[in-house]
Amino acid sequence: MRNRFEFFFNRLRERLWVKPLIACILSVCGVLLAHLADSIPIDWKVPEIAQGSVVDLLKIIAASMLGVATFAVASMVSAYASTGQSATARAFPLIVADDVSQNALSVFVGAFIYAIVALSATTNDYFGKAGRFTLFAFTLLSMVAVILVFVRWVDSIARLGRLGAVIAKAEQAAARAIERRRRAPWLGGVAAGGAPAGLAVHDERIGYLQRVDMELLQRIAAGRGLRITLAVLPGAMVSPARPLAWVLPDSGASGPLEPGEIRKAFTIGPLRQFDEDPRFGLVVLAEIGCRALSQAINDPGTAIAVLGSLHRLYAAWTVPCEPKAPACERVAAPALLADDLLDDGFTAIARDGAHLIEVAMRVQRVLGEIGASGEPGMRAAARRHADLALARAERALVFGPDREQVRARHAAYWGAAARVGDGGSDA
């Protein structure tokens, strides 16, 4: 239930209208609360606030907040466009979900709605002495909130959409997904072993698997006397030809199964999501690095920064961790493979940066450090990618001493015997 709520909440965070709508509702509630103050017999305890002073303040807020909100939207749209052009379109949900920008827009729109509603109520003598004082206090608080939020937002919008900020957000999203998967390597179930067996459950939908409701599968399996083995993990591309899961009854006495019940546990959509898909964050970082290495941009420094982010993420993956006890013992899931994780992060960057000595050297260093982590599966995968990156660099680098530098860096981590490919050609 908690994971389902988090998934739904994260999708709401990617909608720009949610927080402004909440702010508008709170603004109207604030005006009504000020009116309720008139029903409390405290007139003699509060100072007299002239109606004209409240009206003047509300007019200032109403006149300025609409323009500020419009300016905020224009700045955010510009930052979103910059993200798609300089980084990758896959990072767009991360920028849209930026809390500082959404909170700023919500405060600006909420202050405008509050001023309009309060101004209409005040000019129609809706408030008494206590109500005007309460409304005056709320107005001052709203002005202070607008100023503080605006100052913080200006500092944030100057960075929003910049490559450094996008890389940082993609790394944070990938780190959260990796930590979640480390704590639950089989999504809260048990490890899948052996060849798949049982009834294959397919779905007519085509798209990416975004989430698996393991708790629902556990309830179905426990109620019907079944064992369910996932055939795909979040992030996989699914189609009618690819099974979602395999269902195996405990015995002939197992209850009847409706495949539609199993399908309800699988959330499929047109886009991948960061929440339960650690590989997606790695793919997004790799795309940012590859775009920086394109001939149109030619920014190897950004690719090196991406490699630094990948290094931290893979290092976090290899840190020993005690996984949580499986809560869904009747549902089995395959584990993420080290080869797949490194394929997502290094294949494209090693290919596009093979002709740049600084990128090729950094690829060898990061892969060598990952291989030194001590985790056997990760070490074997890192060595395979280091060999492939060396082969690409030997073919792409036209300057002999550059090739020798890459060979020496590779040999420092893996030994000279690990070198593959034809390194003698200048082609």
Residue 116 has pLDDT above 60, yes or no: yes
3-state secondary structure of 385: helix
Q: Would you state the structure tokens that stand for residue 249, as one six-digit string?
A: 């009854």
pLDDT of residue 16: 78
Q: What is the largest CA-CA distance in the chain?
A: 95
The pTM score is: 0.82
Band (pLDDT 50/70/90 cuts) for residue 255 is low
Residue 425 has pLDDT above 50, yes or no: no
Residue 254 has pLDDT above 90, yes or no: no
Our measurement of the distance from residue 339's CA atom to the centroid of its chain's CA atoms, rounded to an integer in Å, reads 22
Cβ 228 vs Cβ 216: under 8 Å: no
Going by their DSSP bridges, the two strands 245-249 and 199-201 should be labelled as: antiparallel
Rounded mean pLDDT, 263-291: 93
**Mean pLDDT over each residue of the chain, to the nearest integer:** 87
pLDDT of residue 305: 95
Q: What is the pLDDT of residues 74-95, one digit of tens each?
A: 888 887 787 777 778 888 888 8
Highest mean pLDDT among 94-98, 222-226, 282-286: 282-286
Band (pLDDT 50/70/90 cuts) for residue 214 is very high
Cβ 357 vs Cβ 303: under 8 Å: no
Band (pLDDT 50/70/90 cuts) for residue 275 is confident
Strands (E), 190-324: 190-191, 199-201, 207-212, 226-230, 237-238, 245-249, 266-269
pLDDT of residue 125: 83
Residue 56 has pLDDT above 80, yes or no: yes
Residue 244 has pLDDT above 70, yes or no: yes
pLDDT of residue 171: 95
> Cα–Cα distance between 403 and 391 in angstroms, integer?
10
